[in-house]
Structures are given as structure tokens and as C-alpha cells.
Structure 1
């Protein structure tokens, strides 16, 4: 269960003290997340009060947002220059497993998340997997990356059997913290709790 009530704020709970947040969309103006630098700085200030120690910025790279790593690095440098707070900022990306990803992976034009392992944060549609999901994940591994599946609890097509299959393939999972609070509904919350109880989450993030 979530270890504090609605009457206790995140900052008061101390739950996020020293946390590394491995999934966020705070790089301004590059996807469907934060749009302005001022908004990014405001949210970073809030994260400071919550005790976040390190934040990975993971903008979308997908056919709808075909961001180039080189362009994202420029935007990231601008944010780092503007932010003067204590949170350590790092850049990676959330890669949609689509045709664009296949092209970028072949060219090694991706942004990895270096947090104990050389992770590559990936996602799929919430409703249907790619036709060759397992093969795509194996191709990522063949390139020397560890596939880190973003918010597996949110995929409607995944169940316990599916999670076990991916786990047997050495696929790592990333928890969305709002899932444990019921932020995406009861079913997602139950899946997240089951995965957490099994110890199958490698990293977590606010998304």
C-alpha cells in the first residue's frame, strides 16, 4: 500500500528523499510534456522540496515526435545553463518501439540511460504490442543495451504471464510512481503492486 495518506504531502512524507527519478518529460518544447523553460524551472523547484536527488530527462523519440539526439542535447544544455539548483540532471530518451526506432537503433542514434546498467528506455502502445516485440527487444540487447520497459503496468494487453515472459528474457521494468497511488486507475495500481511485490522493478520515475 502507498505509505502515506492524502493528508500528508510528498515533501512531508520523505518518500522521495534522495530519489533518482528515471522518467520525466521536463525538457521544454520537445514533446507533449513541459512546453516552456519557466515551467521546467518551476517543476524542478518543486522536486527540490520533495527531496529528488537526480533527474533523468527522457523526452519522447517516436514517429509523432521524431526528435534527434543531437537536437535534444542542445535543448538539454540550455536547461542545465538556466537551472542553478541541487538536482543532478541527466539526459536520455523514451523510445517508442516503432519503425523510426528500428532506423535509429540500426544507426545507433539513440539516447541511453546510464544508471547502473546501459539501459535503453522503451515503450509501446498502451493497447497493442508491436508485431515482433520480442525480436525488437532482442535486437536492443544485441546492440549492448539493456531494454528498460517504461511503465509496464499501464499496458492493457499485458498480464502476469506476459510479464513473466519478458522477465525471463532479462527485460527490466520501470515503475511510474503515480501507478501505485491509483493515478491511472485500479487495474493499473494492482498490476504495479504485483510487479513491485515480485521485486521486478529496476527503476522508477514520475513520468
Structure 2
């Protein structure tokens, strides 16, 4: 069982845009749901790409379950993000103009993909997520973000994502030369708040 590449698009045509935003939905969400969030982001001139998870879930168990229990879905999901990035590259968009926005399971997947493929991207906003696995396997994470801005927002406590994992993820990204901003909201709940949107806009999706 793996993910069939199914990418929903919005925004500017990928052949005309200079920037692309890859949006990764959460468990039980959809590509269309996460694309609708883009109206709150400063991404009017971006091509928007949102892959759709098979049956609305990228992998079956918690992101802090032993990795092998989330296979083969997890590897397939990471490959899907890679193929979505390749879609943008094939259209002539430079790596440093590729951006990411992920929520919940989608934030975990976004962060796992980025940490495994660190290079200079445009930037990333990950709301309620961390790198994946019961233990962090630092050997999986290679490369240099070259000061790519990454925003991590989360609630403490969060039923799905322990705040300790968010901090650990931030530390790994910083070690890999990302420009990390983290913001923890006490008892906010498992959703995206207005300030996180505003911070994503001011840190990641800056108006030129």
C-alpha cells in the first residue's frame, strides 16, 4: 500500500510562477482543505501544490511510533513530497524558491523530508509537528539549510505532538544551519491560530 501521486494545484500556473508553495495536509484532512488556507498567506504570486494522501492519512500510527510500524506508508509519503518538489523543479522553479507549509501529520512529514534533504529552500512553516520516529535517528538527517527560515508553531500540551519533540526538532534544524523560529502556545489546542499565520507571513512569506 503506497501513495499514488495525486497533486492538487492552485494559485499561479506552475509554468508562470517563480515561486512554489508545497502544502501538506494533516491526518483526516485533504489537499483542498490545506489549499484553502493559502488565502491567509502572502502567496498571491506562488504556484500552490498540495499532494493528497491515500485515504486522508500519510501513515497509520503516531509519528512517534517505531518507524518500521509506519512502513511502507512513511517512505512512500516522503517519496511523494520529493516528487512534488521535483514537479516544481521540472517546471523551472529554483530550489531556493520552493516553500513548504504543513499542519499536524503534514507538519511532521514536512519536517522529516526537509531534515533528510537539507539545502537552501525558500522557507517552511510547520504547525504542530516534529521529526518522525520513536527515537530520533540523527544519521538520517544530512545537508545544510544555508539559513533557510523555518517557523515551528505548536500548542503545549498537544495530544499528538509532545512539545519536547518540537524543541528537539528545532535543535536539529539549527544544527543543520536553518534559521529557526519556534513559538509555543499554552493550551491552545490542535489547530492553527491567527498569530501563527501572521508569523508565517512575516518570517517565511515576506512580500518582496
TM-score (norm 2): 0.35
Q: Which entry has the higher C-alpha Rg, 1 or 2?
A: 1
| TM-score, normalization by structure 1 | 0.35
